[in-house]
Amino acid sequence: ACSRTDASERQGEQPDSVSESDGGQDSTGDNIADMAEQSDEQQNMTEDTEQETEGQGKEQQADMDTKALVVYFSCTGTTRSLAEYAAEVLGADIYEIVAEEPYTEEDLAYYTGGRADHEQDDPNARPAIAGNVEDMDGYDTILIGYPIWHGQAPRIISTFLESYDFSGKTIVPFCTSHSSGIGSSAVDLHALCPDSVEWAEGMRFEAGTSRDTIEEWLGNIGIK
């Protein structure tokens, strides 16, 4: 399931539409070294666009300066698809949270007293992450996607949120689940970040949610 090998193998399997988006090919935790290069490209594009729209109002200009990063954790690919759609729609970079110790199928079998069950039972569990986001300062909007595990975000999301300084940034949580709603899973993450973080309301999607639905959601919450 969630292994590093799987993650690197997957790179070759991604649809063309994903590799066209800025940073869409960065699906592994280890493989974001070229993000800085991509961000330069994106910066140039932003400047060009700004010149074209000069005089159309400051508010619009402010929107264009926003740089988003789509972060996700996904063991069986459900959340990944949605994260890829979001990155595509926003032209954003994408970063996969990869566990240092990959989750095996056995680890993920819930209600068996396995690894995932244990972690979710312990609010202080902080599974280690392999790799990191190199230039978190360069992003002002962070989308974070996760599967619901026993009504909550997987504890590795807590590890991620405690690993960076998100002061002054906007965080947009979204999740997938078998049937549960988002519940308190997103709001429970707020305490892990500084008060100056602006949290968007979290959103739960079902497996197989379309790109159009993701695009509509991003429009509705005003980040697209």
Q: Least CB distance from residue 82 to ligand FMN, whole Å?
A: 8
Q: Least CB distance from residue 209 to ligand FMN, whole Å?
A: 10
Q: Which is nearer to ligand FMN, 67 or 80 (CB)?
A: 80
Q: Which is nearer to ligand FMN, 35 or 99 (CB)?
A: 99
Per-residue b/e over 56-91, b at no fewer than 16 CB within 10 Å? eeeeeeeeeeebbbbbbbbbeebbbbbbbbbbbbbb
Q: Which is nearer to ligand FMN, 45 or 187 (CB)?
A: 187
Distance of alpha carbon 211 from alpha carbon 82, whole angstroms: 7
Binding region for ligand FMN (CB under 6 A) = 74-80, 108, 110, 116, 147-151, 176-180, 207
Q: Least CB distance from residue 174 to ligand FMN, whole Å?
A: 11
Q: Least CB distance from residue 43 to ligand FMN, whole Å?
A: 31
Q: Which is nearer to ligand FMN, 43 or 112 (CB)?
A: 112
What is the per-residue DSSP string for 137-159? GG-SEEEEEEE-BTTB--HHHHH
Q: How many CA atoms lie within 13 A of 11 on its CB side?
A: 17
Q: Which two tokens stand for residue 202?
A: 């979290």
